[in-house]
Amino acid sequence: MAQTIRTPGLLLTEHEFEIPLDHDAPGGERITVFAREVADPDGTDKPFLVFFQGGPGHEATRPFGNPRGPGWVVRALQDFRVLLLDQRGTGRSTPVGTLPGLTPHEQAERLAHFRADAIVRDAEWIRRELGVEQWSILGQSFGGFCVMTYLSHAPEALREAFVTGGLAPIDRPVDDVYRATYERVLERNRRYYARYPQDRGRVLALHERLASEDVRLPSGDRLTSERLRQAGAVLGMSDGPDQLHYLLERPSGSPAFLHDLEAVTGFARTPLYAIIHEACYADGTATRWSAQRTQPDAYRTQPELFTGEHVYPWMFEQYGALAPLREAADLLAERTWPRLYDTERLRANTVPTAAAIYTEDLYVERSFSEETASTIGSLRPWVTSEYDHNGLRADGGRVLGRLLDLTRGRA
């Protein structure tokens, strides 16, 4: 039973759907998938815009801050009702933790049902249950991968499709993806130390300390050099370099430093992100720990270099929150995954589609995104250097407005 809540200027309707864990076994175990419908009080008859959050493993945006929500939600409500989908395993949907009581093989088999292909089938289940003939969709980052999967498998359900920072490579080996992202990360390191040259010495001193001392984070995990490097994941956001600098300027033994470092490198809240991150790029292939295998030699000789949005096998030993999934992670790394995208169907796509491609994107390689844009029929790309990967969060009203104009012939 849906529950409706009135907040200043908004009508929020909360839905819970009981959906098969395995869509190919509809009589088996069910999980809950949660979605929050956001509408103007006088806009409950507007068409739906379904939002696919970035991640994987992160729940949908919550409508707070501005009384009507983030900037893109405010713009969307001019034309739509917004359906904020907590993708399976996230938010108020049935959670995924460390899966106690299951063998590693059982854990791996369960976790195999949390990629974009299953998320899209959830959305189709929800669309049918709500009695919606067609709706529009918006995907940010990993959510864009979901949009591409939707266009591959159920385009007849879509009126329009929008992507921000999330056009995935098609028909490219996973290793190509990680080699390209490392090139971007190395460039971001160069820019970071050019802006904050004093931080190089701080980081080198930290590595020396971690080699000789047992430094513990608030969780009890040991802070290692590998984990310190992972703070570089923030460098792809518009405020990331400053965020990293303000973290590093604190005394390295202070509670504030240790707490905030753990916050930017932790996976206790979202273990699903770590376990299936590489699998998001596995379009009919196995990943075999691609980020580990393709890491440039520079990381062996320059300890001050930060890594980016990479997941490594050592994390399932050093992170207490991930350790119970270590063997399952190895099994998933060796798994040959089914195809996510139907290249021929994407070429023949007729759904009006627009995508923001950020030229400086640290996480989704710009050149591969442009290749993909040229592959998908009826797609109009907006290639811009104005934003980093978080353009939808930084200036969502303008970004979504531009994409709407592109699909509707106004730009």
Domain coordinates in residue numbering, the chain: 3-170+341-407, 174-334
Would you say residue 1 has pLDDT above 80? no
What pLDDT shows up at residue 259?
A: 97
Per-residue pLDDT tens digits for 291-336: 999 999 999 999 999 999 999 999 999 999 999 999 999 999 999 9
Domain 3-170+341-407, CATH class in plain words: alpha beta
**Alpha-carbon distances, residue 391 vs 50, 56, 200, 273, 386 (angstroms):** 18, 18, 28, 21, 8
Model confidence at 69, in pLDDT bands (50, 70, 90)?
Answer: low
Stated as kind and residue range, the H or E segment containing 246 is helix 240-248
What pLDDT shows up at residue 65?
A: 61
CA distance 381 to 66: 29
Compute the 3-state secondary structure of the chain and give helix, strand, coil in percent, each to the nearest 5: 45, 15, 40
What pLDDT shows up at residue 173?
A: 94
Mean pLDDT, to the nearest integer, of 343-357? Answer: 98
Model confidence at 70, in pLDDT bands (50, 70, 90)?
Answer: confident
Would you say residue 411 has pLDDT above 90? no
Model confidence at 116, in pLDDT bands (50, 70, 90)?
Answer: very high
Model confidence at 347, in pLDDT bands (50, 70, 90)?
Answer: very high
Enumerate the H helices of 61-197 as residue ranges: 71-76, 104-111, 116-130, 142-153, 174-195
Percent of the chain with pLDDT over 70: 99
Per-residue pLDDT tens digits for 156-211: 999 999 999 999 999 999 999 999 999 999 999 999 999 999 999 999 999 999 99
Mean pLDDT, to the nearest integer, of 148-161? Answer: 98
What pLDDT shows up at residue 64?
A: 72
Enumerate the H helices of 249-389 as residue ranges: 255-265, 271-276, 290-293, 298-301, 315-318, 326-334, 343-347, 366-375
What is the average pLDDT score of the chain?
A: 96
What pLDDT shows up at residue 300?
A: 96
CA distance 215 to 207: 11
Strands 30-39 and 3-7: unpaired
What would the DSSP string read from start to end of 229-244?
HGGGGGGGSTTHHHHH
What pLDDT shows up at residue 9?
A: 87
Q: Which residue shows structure tokens 């047992």?
A: 214
Model confidence at 33, in pLDDT bands (50, 70, 90)?
Answer: very high
Per-residue pLDDT tens digits for 124-145: 999 999 999 999 999 999 999 9
Per-residue pLDDT tens digits for 162-172: 999 999 999 99
What pLDDT shows up at residue 67?
A: 61
Structure tokens at 358: 């950020």
